[in-house]
Amino acid sequence: MDGTNKVRNAYLAKGGPKAASVSLNKSRIALRTLELAETLDVKIENSSYTLGGDPEPRSLKDFLDEADALIVLFEDVKMAYIGGNVFYDATLVDGGEDFLRYFHAEPALTSVRGEKKKRKFKLNQNVFDAESTFGVIIQTIAANDQILVCDDLGDEWADFIGVRTDNGITSVNFYHGKHGKLSLGASAFHVSVGQAIKNLGNMVFPPDRVPTKVAGWSTNYNSENGPTQIPRIIRGNAATIGTNVAATRTAPDTVRRAIIVTSSLSKKAVASALVSAKKGKAPKPSFVQFYWLLQSFFSACTEVGAVGSVICRP
């Protein structure tokens, strides 16, 4: 991005084509133009209409600006503009101990070969593949959840929703599972972070929405490839599950956790990048964006009294 005036231009790379322009206003940074060729014909429609039926579709530029989806990074990596606000955080160059405490290593994710499957679903399939992110969530990460349901697809609150009670403390766990190549960039996390933040309010199980949810959980999982024999209720009783999840709403010691589970990240790689930054080596812009995206997720969780975390490869 260059310029010294209120309106500044952004480029794909130094000397590259113009991608967008922004306006530095008193209270926010506005996206004035979005000029990437592949975005010019993109329209955003209201989901209440069938595809192509929205009489007033918005341009991608207008949608991103109205949603405050713009992320602006500065030469000073301790600062970032996210969600319409400017944040300052020195953790990135201080070794990252406060940041790393949100990450938990799970060795089983090392052998994962797909998010939901390692091959095409079969009609008679009754479990998720062990070598999938979903399989690891069920068999390892959420193994101690007394209630566990698959909420993937449709009106999705999370890929899996679990409830666990230990020593009188109840945990409501929303698991958002992802798979991909190892990376320290933000692109692999945008969807899961957005989904997790959007559904923080549903962690209290709104009473007007629970009956519809329970009805959906009482069916088998229908994949993108067609129906399966995998029950959505992995653990729990269909007859009482609605009452059980509703009870967490008023339980005094309920802890609500939003958990991103991914095979595309290594905790060791994150720690290494933070150590390099502390030693004075400038981190890659993609890692800075990754850092701030995850920080926005952790902060959003804290604001509503939830706990955000990432479970990844060692």
217 has a pLDDT exceeding 70: yes
- DSSP-derived letter for residue 283 is P
**Cβ(297)–Cβ(196) under 8 Å?**
yes
Structure tokens at 40: 């010019």
Q: Which residue has the higher pLDDT, 122 or 108?
A: 108
Structure tokens at 197: 């933040």
pLDDT score recorded for residue 256: 97
Domain boundaries, the chain: 7-69, 97-313
**24-79 pLDDT per residue, tens:** 988 889 999 998 888 888 999 988 888 889 999 999 999 988 888 888 877 777 77
pLDDT score recorded for residue 118: 62
166 has a pLDDT exceeding 80: yes
Average pLDDT over residues 129-145: 95
Q: Which residue has the higher pLDDT, 236 or 88?
A: 236
DSSP bridge pairs for 34: 20
**Cβ(104)–Cβ(310) under 8 Å?**
yes
Confidence of residue 282 (pLDDT cuts 50, 70, 90): confident
